[in-house]
Copies of this chain bind each other. A is one copy, B any other.
Amino acid sequence: MRFFSDNAAAACPEALASLAEANRLDTAYDGDEWSKRLNAAFSALFEREVEALWVTTGTAANCLALAALCPPHGRILCHEQAHIEIDECGAPEFYTGGAKLMLVEGEGAKLTPDGVMAALGTVRDDVHQAQPAALSITNATEYGRVYTAAETAALGALCRKRGLRFHLDGARFANAVARLGASPAELTWKAGVDALSFGFTKNGGLSAEALILFDPALAKETHYRRKRAGHLLSKGRYLAAQLLAMLEGDVWLRNARAANDAAARLAEAAGGDRLVHPVEANELFIRVSAAEAASLRTQGFDFYDWGAGEARLVTAWDSDPGHVAALAAAIAAL
């Protein structure tokens, strides 16, 4: 019973079925019927004209966005636990041509306007320091917290005021939407977001992510950047078809709700004191002694240790209800 991560789950039936549907000769490189429907499909979802580019990884989506938003001599503010800092092996530096990440603290991997302003205040406005050019946040965060539309908009307002572009890493954006009940538009462009990495892989896709650009001026160069990074697939229709299949009938939202619900059940079983962070999406960080962790593992549950005395448990769109119930019982019994 594996609760390691949602990034290795199976693909949902709709995504898998879309591959068979797309399995016929068509035009290469975005010229196929599925890719050509992407912009319209995402524009409908976001209630405005957007440009959508499919890629295969969140790292690619994040870093193509950052390269569009930050010059080589700029600085990207992000949480010190942000995926772009911790888990991408310098991809932002590679894609931007050497921009600097500036790490900001914040509870639950969430940034606040105060935290961002404090960081900005440490940068001298002279030519000897890379100047702040972009802000990147993650919703849901690396610790399973969410930014409300209002919280996002407060950061967006700060960005506009300080001349920063605004990127949202949405590897688990679906989980945030599912939790908050806000519209995708409210959580993004209406709150000042310029570019969104909209993750489908953790949410039931095979390997499919959408980079959503709300500023059309960024789209043209990003197409070139995607190509020269090797992320324009000749048979990209297999990606586009997955995305469309998961948009249709809000499969993406249904999947995210299922993952969130499973995490909520575990959180309820754990109870407040054991939770390191409030559980707002599909990740659970719990305080466990070494003996407790060992006990859970003996009972057949797999998960990551997360520093001393903590464990991370991640649910997915297809978490087995029986496994979840068993884990909930095991946690409650600790």
Complex interface: chain B residues within 8 A of A63 (CB): 230
Query: Which of A131, A207, A228, A235 has the most chain B CB within a 10 Å cutoff?
Result: A228
Complex interface: chain B residues within 8 A of A72 (CB): 90, 93-94, 97, 225, 228
Contact A233 B207 (CB under 8 A): yes
Stretch at the interface among A38-46, A122-130, A244-252: A122-130
Minimal beta-carbon separation of A166 from chain B (angstroms): 20
State which residues 245-271 of A face B: CB under 8 Å. none
Check: A157 CB closer than 8 A to any chain B CB.
no
State which residues 190-222 of A face B: CB under 8 Å. 201-202, 206-207, 221
Q: Which of B4, B19, B99, B228 contacts A88 (CB 8 A)?
A: B228
Check: A56 CB closer than 8 A to any chain B CB.
yes
Stretch at the interface among A22-30, A137-145, A148-156: A22-30
Complex interface: chain B residues within 8 A of A236 (CB): 207
Check: A9 CB closer than 8 A to any chain B CB.
yes
Q: CB-nearest residue of chain B relative to A75?
A: B90
Check: A223 CB closer than 8 A to any chain B CB.
yes
Number of A positions contacting B (CB below 8 A):
73
Contact with B along A42-58 (1 / 0, CB 8 A): 00000000000001110
Main secondary structure of the interface of A (DSSP, over half): loop
Contact B234 A128 (CB under 8 A): no
Contact A4:B23 (CB < 8 A) given known A97-B94, A207-B234: no
A52 to B202 alpha-carbon distance, docked (Å): 25
Contact A221:B73 (CB < 8 A) given known A2-B25, A91-B227, A97-B97: yes
A239 to B72 alpha-carbon distance, docked (Å): 27
Q: List 17 A-B contacts (CB under 8 A).
A: A2-B25, A8-B25, A8-B28, A10-B25, A16-B19, A19-B19, A19-B206, A57-B234, A59-B230, A60-B229, A86-B129, A88-B230, A93-B100, A94-B97, A94-B98, A131-B224, A206-B235
Q: Which residues of A contact B (CB under 8 A)?
A: 2, 4-5, 7-11, 16, 19-20, 23-29, 32, 55-57, 59-61, 63, 71-73, 75, 86-91, 93-101, 127-131, 201-202, 206-207, 221, 223-236, 238-239, 316, 318
If A94-B228, A94-B229 are given as contacts, then 8 extra A-B residue pairs at C-beta distance below 8 Å, sorted by A number, are A4-B28, A7-B28, A11-B238, A25-B318, A60-B230, A72-B225, A87-B129, A89-B128
Which 9 residue pairs are nearest across A and B when measured between Cβ atoms?
Answer: A60-B230, A93-B98, A7-B234, A59-B230, A73-B224, A8-B28, A97-B97, A89-B228, A89-B227
